[in-house]
Structure 1
Amino acid sequence: MADLILKDVVKSYGDVNVLNDINLDIKTGELIVFVGPSGCGKSTLLRMIAGLEKITDGTLSIDGEPMNDVPPAQRGIAMVFQSYALYPHMTVRENMAFALRIAGKSKDEIDSAVNAAADKLQLTDYLDRLPKALSGGQRQRVAIGRAIVRDPKVYLFDEPLSNLDAALRVATRIEIAQLKEQMPDSTMIYVTHDQVEAMTLASRIVVLANKGIAQVGSPLELYERPRSTFVAQFIGSPAMNLLAGKIVGTGEVTTLELSDGAGRITSNYPSTEADMGAEVEVGIRPEDMVPTDGPDYAFAGTVDITEALGEVTQLYFTTPSASEDTDTVIAKLHGIHRGLRGQQVTLTAAPDKVHVFKDGVSLHYR
């Protein structure tokens, strides 16, 4: 439906700077997800795109047209909010038709648009009900339907599932994914604090931190090749383990010695002679750690706590070998493992699963 470009965008409230140097090129048909910690500015950025917040500096364009000074109603954007914001005295049909009636559309145009949206969202049987007769997930679908009937250039979603319980979040997330499949040319921007939503819905994820963009990439790119320790720990659950170490062998394969004599391990991240002896953080995701009896290992410790989840068993270790950011190492073993609490366990990881960060930046991106 539309290309959207943010160039050198800045947002300040008086002397307080919130966002800096936001540069982003969103292509037609993408579903872009903004994620980041609370207060990082992801909802503020969405509201600037919508025209609900003024851009302090920089430019926003849609299909090549500058939008900085264009009123929200004229930007060709529809927004779905965290709260459903439905009119309680109107039926589902009337709620979905309201914006079109205000725009002066004919009855036939309105009926056609509402019926088509209701069919996409499986709301046809509920068109004559009031919002109070619907579940939370159905109400959110009505809010999405209200956006669809307007046929906007860009859809904006501001944490639309956060008011739903866990089961409804999963069901509605699947429905949004199916909706995107039915509307492949629609450009959508979605804000969430839930990384599962981000990983399962996004064409690309934009991770926001420290008043700017920390990394942009496909979900698997961010998971497999995080640019920084921040992204490495923000994407993935449980968070990536960061272990203090140093480089003791360089080349296409880097040899790492973990602090406090924890062990020695290799990584496929290349290093140079200049890196020899450098203090680094060695990153290994909990799900990539496996028990070993071999001489090379990343970590050895006594299991403090186990969580038996059926499909996986999570082991928690408290260790002085962990980085300054955490004193816990977590291993996520496939299947059921009984009787490990209080036991000594030695763990390793394949070289292609061992990340190396120097001064907080991945060696892969130097």
Structure 2
Amino acid sequence: MANVKLTDISKSYGGTEVLKNIDLDIRQGELVVFVGPSGCGKSTLLRMIAGLEKISGGTLEIDGSVVNDTPPAQRGIAMVFQSYALYPHMTVRENMGFALDIAKVPRVDADAKVAKAAETLQLTPYLDRLPKALSGGQRQRVAIGRAIVRDPKVYLFDEPLSNLDAALRVATRIEIAQLKERMPDATMIYVTHDQVEAMTLADRIVVLAGKGISQVGTPLDLYDAPENEFVARFIGSPSMNLMSGTITQTGTETVVALDTGGTARAAIPTDDRHLGAKVNVGVRPEDFTLTDGPALYSGHVDYTEALGEVTLLYFAPENGESGIVAKLPGTHRNHRRQTLALTAEPERVHLFLDGVSLKRPRRP
């Protein structure tokens, strides 16, 4: 397996620049996930690594060698696409071994590789079935097996679960996580629009936005300490609440008077330079609690969603602010159309000045 290094990578189509100044070092054995909104360039970046898109600028190294002009077949990569792209007239065994047949690998060696991959993916009982006799999740495993038998340096996954229904997506996501555990030295790059996949699969997440990288970090780094408002709102569901206000007290704990009338306390050190500064206060829905005392926020509950394990409370917009969402554990049937007060622990409150996070201590 190998590391992948991107240095000042850019991509343009004619005069339209879609990616610029991409610097990223993916270490051997990592599973790195690219996420971002539609059109941010995550699949384009993956295709450049694969050699399916030409690199407009910068250098791409795989295992220490620059491969900008190296054909895809010679890069030592294997790609798993959204579509299974299985040959319907071939069995699972034949589909998985097809690339080895093309490469003229001796039959004994090819059979051994297919058998080993099938065992890893728990496909051994299905080797003699046609794709039409498999579930969607099993077909995707066959597509992954087709990549494994090639023993590539790097595995590339382009939204491999997007064609599955919700239940199969969960099951196959778990299978991919288990596959990574069985192949600890495998370097994998995974593109998805589903942040649950990113949070549960990734060793590190790369958030793409605005033609570049917005933040790179472990899933909990991005959740606990987003570096900017975009990442704060992109990671987490429902997204982080942002409320405007003015800093009225600095020190080891910062106090913000919110435009909605509440008061926020954040365990974020500030100094006199910040006094009077306009900031956005960020609180994740799950970090709110109901209070009878001093409130960070109070408002009218427009409607609720009871999900069993949690209840989502949607507060009506007021004072020009967007509506607040709170996620409370358990079932709360009687809160609709009530006026409720919310608070949050200072350690769970974020502050953003000009869209950039004022750093706070990370969760122990």
Structure 1 segment 160-179 matched on structure 2, within 5 A: 160-179=160-179
Matches of 1:318 and 1:339, distance apart in 2: 16
3-state secondary structure, aligned to 1:227: coil
1:277 match: 276
Instruction: Call closer, same or farther: CA 1:283–1:231 in 2, change over 3 Å.
Output: same
2:30 is matched with which residue? Answer: 30
> Structure 2: how far apart are the matches of 1:346 and 1:288?
13
CA distance in 2, matches of 1:260, 1:143: 53
Residue in 2 aligned with 1:299?
A: 297
Indicate if the aligned counterparts of 1:243 and 1:321 stay in contact, CA closer than 8 A: no
The 3-state SS of whatever aligns with 2:207 is: strand
1:338 CA displacement: 2.1
Aligned equivalent of 1:225: 225
Query: Is contact 1:298–1:347 with CA below 8 Å preserved after alignment?
Result: yes
Question: In the TM superposition, what are the counterparts of 1:136-285 in structure 2 within 5 Å?
Answer: 136-261=136-261, 263-285=262-284
TM-score by length of 2: 0.98
**3-state secondary structure, aligned to 1:160:** coil
Q: 3-state DSSP class of the match of 2:39?
A: coil
Superposition deviation, residue 137 in structure 1: 0.6
Question: Is contact 1:31–1:201 with CA below 8 Å preserved after alignment?
Answer: yes
Q: Find the aligned partners of 2:185 and 2:268 in 1 and give their Cα distance.
A: 38
Deviations 1:92-134 (A, max 9, x none): 1001001111111111110110000000111111111111111
Displacement after TM superposition at 1:333 (Å): 0.3
The answer for the alignment partner of 1:336 in structure 2 is 331
Per the TM alignment, residue 322 of structure 1 is displaced from its structure 2 partner at its CA by 6.3
Structure 2: runs of 5 or more not aligned = none
Q: Per the alignment, in what secondary structure is the counterpart of residue 143 of structure 1?
A: helix
TM-score, normalisation: structure 1:
0.97
How far the C-alpha of 1:271 sits from its partner, in A, is 1.4
CA deviations over 1:315-352 (Å, ceiling 9, x no partner): 001222564xxx21100001111211111100000001
Partner of 1:319: 317
Q: What's the offset of the Cα at 1:260?
A: 3.4
What is aligned with 2:39? 39
Contact 2:264–2:281 under 8 Å retained in 1: no
Deviates more, 1:182-191 or 1:271-280: 271-280
* 2:361 is the alignment partner of 1:362: no
Q: Is the 8 A contact 1:242 1:322 kept in 2?
A: no
Task: Specify the SS of the correspondent of 1:114.
Answer: helix
| 3-state SS, counterpart of residue 303 of structure 1 | strand
SS in 2 for 1:85: coil
The residue matched to 1:109 in structure 2 has which SS?
helix
Number of residue pairs the alignment of both structures matches: 360
Distance between the aligned counterparts of 2:84 and 2:269, measured in 1? 50
Give the SS at the match of 1:304.
strand
Counterpart in the other structure of 2:307: 309
CA distance in 2, matches of 1:6, 1:188: 15
Amino acid at match of 1:155: Y
**For 2:238 and 2:54, how far apart are their aligned partners in 1?**
37
Q: Shift of residue 212 of structure 1?
A: 0.2
Please, which runs of 5 or more residues in structure 1 have no aligned partner? Answer: none
